[in-house]
Chain A
């Protein structure tokens, strides 16, 4: 009888016990480390653009095209990451493929964003050789002291950027006491034909360095770049939590003998040399309702003044009139040559304010994050305003709907952009 009851109990209880044990499991296969890894994402991003046909940048870039009120872009991006690790050595690469079908036609570009060999003889010493992004600076939208990085786009600061070919090392030392960490990162960056030739003047080996300190719970960096491809520059940044949900950060950059190239309204080109000082101050604040505020003020010592920008826009307008009346586009070509990396760079003027408010799961709508981003040009009072909604409810899938409205008077930065608005829907799948 006892045996019978035991058997019944076993039959009744065993499945429940088994269920209890298997309800939550961590499959060891999931955590097995392989020497190689492979991943990335695929992205599709259609864009609708509302043209401003009276804007200087429309006249400059589309003067010989007959576009309607709106234009369409169909963008696709494939980003592949792969790595192989053996002993103290690791090879890592990130390849980016951009494809675009737009009102300008088809274009595609494949770039090796990163591809470097990393040697880690100990936790305190790491050597990297190859193409790598350094990602210096503490600013969210702008990083004036990131001397060995490409300029990021404040409209989408989280996008991966292409690196430069370099030889670098990290030496790290930890302590107890107010100075908790000190690390030094020296970088050698050669610039020759076909090697980092878009960094600056060729035929130089540049030296850059970053000294990092965690001192009194404050992150502090000192940076330097010298060597000839660009003029010598020094930088400093910091970041610190004032309270657990309130962070402040800042950056300062001093650029020795910066050469500013600018044009007057009749097309004469001038070069002015001076020591430029750029700085940024920012905060990040998180409320108990999961609202994040990021605010940054940026002063660019290399930026153009109101008058310089007005001269540039005025020259484009005159050049466009010449083209429409005489069919001669040489002045527009002259302006175009001066635009690339100069007037045409992201936020080319002196003073900007960035403000972003994002709310996680607003009104308890699961997996949605809504944000509103404003970039204000303090000098000419023009601005862009970008509301967006992000959905992350499906594992490895990210959907983002973003619109941007560009507002400004004539002769202002955002007022003279070629678009008045843009709407984009980004679908990104990670694998």
Chain B
């Protein structure tokens, strides 16, 4: 009996020494990337194989686990367009057309490699479970699996730097592990109020050969926002939040 108890005790001690709690790691990554509720500006640059660039500037707000919205500031042809995401529901509001129309996560309101799910990104913990964690001296490698089949990518491989607990690279994969795109997190910057995170995210994709899309972050700050901001009725007024 004593031997059995000792065995159980030894096993209980041994497990924490090797297992890393993937969910806690992922939550940490989420919070290091941005506060749970925040506002930020982003520039999206689509670079074509011939070097041509198309640029878009957006103001984005996020609240909690499932609410995200963005309004285009530049260029003039896109100004005033806003997008809203409530969980897996997404809408696009075009001022001339008027009423918001439903859009999908895998199409892109700006073209290029970033799709709507990338632009209106929620916390990773709200969409993914951690299946497995690998680690070496410098990094964790998190294997993430989508919680539902409505999430844009079935699986993610996320490399997380152990020093700052920020992602350095994310591969987006299909259920069959086919690579859809890779995100590279670069140029860590102090945005103030304890927000230190990559200011540039680059992406490329084997499906868009020789294309590249860049997302640059600026003025990320924590912000208290009403739930009512994240509604269809409020979409035409999104720019008033700036």
Within the complex, what minimum Cβ distance (angstroms) separates A115 from chain B? 15
- Render A336-375 as a binary contact track against B, CB cut-off 8 A, 1 for contact: 0000000000000000000000001000001000000000
B237 x A39 contact (CB < 8 A): no
Of A49-57, A152-160, A225-233, A300-308, the stretch lying at the interface with chain B is A152-160
Query: Is A422 in contact with chain B by the CB < 8 A criterion?
Result: no
B102 x A247 contact (CB < 8 A): yes
Compute how far the CA of A183 lies from the CA of B232 in the bound complex, rounded to whole angstroms.
Answer: 9
B75 x A133 contact (CB < 8 A): no
Query: Is B31 in contact with chain A by the CB < 8 A criterion?
Result: no
In the complex, the number of residue pairs spanning A and B with C-beta atoms less than 8 Å apart equals 136
Interface members, chain A 77-125 (any B CB < 8 Å)? 81, 85, 90, 118, 120, 122-124
* A-side interface residues, number (CB < 8 Å): 63
Name the residue in B152, B200, B234, B237 with the highest tally of chain A Cβ atoms < 10 Å from its Cβ: B234
In the complex with contacts A26-B43, A214-B231, A241-B102, A122-B75 CB distance below 8 A: no
Within the complex, what minimum Cβ distance (angstroms) separates A144 from chain B? 14
Chain A residues, CB < 8 A from B226: 122-124, 174
Chain A residues, CB < 8 A from B104: 241, 244-245, 286
B233 x A170 contact (CB < 8 A): yes
Compute how far the CA of A124 lies from the CA of B152 in the bound complex, rounded to whole angstroms.
Answer: 31
A183 x B102 contact (CB < 8 A): no
* Nearest-neighbor residue (CB-CB) of B42 within chain A: A26
B88 x A244 contact (CB < 8 A): yes
B102 x A172 contact (CB < 8 A): no
B105 x A244 contact (CB < 8 A): yes
Interface bin, chain B = 35 or more
Within the complex, what minimum Cβ distance (angstroms) separates A380 from chain B? 30
A sample of 18 cross-chain residue pairs with beta-carbon separation below 8 angstroms, ordered by A number, consists of A24-B45, A26-B43, A28-B219, A39-B76, A123-B225, A123-B229, A135-B97, A136-B99, A159-B96, A181-B231, A183-B233, A212-B233, A217-B88, A219-B102, A244-B106, A366-B48, A395-B75, A430-B76
A contact residues vs B (CB 8 Å cutoff): 20-21, 24-26, 28, 30-31, 33, 39, 41, 81, 85, 90, 118, 120, 122-124, 126, 133-138, 140, 157-160, 170, 172-174, 180-181, 183, 185, 212, 214, 217, 219, 239-241, 243-245, 247, 284, 286, 288, 290, 360, 366, 392-393, 395-396, 398, 430-431
B contact residues vs A (CB 8 Å cutoff): 41-43, 45, 48, 52, 54-55, 57, 59, 73-77, 79, 86-89, 94-99, 101-102, 104-107, 111, 150, 152, 187, 200, 214, 216-219, 225-234, 237, 240, 242
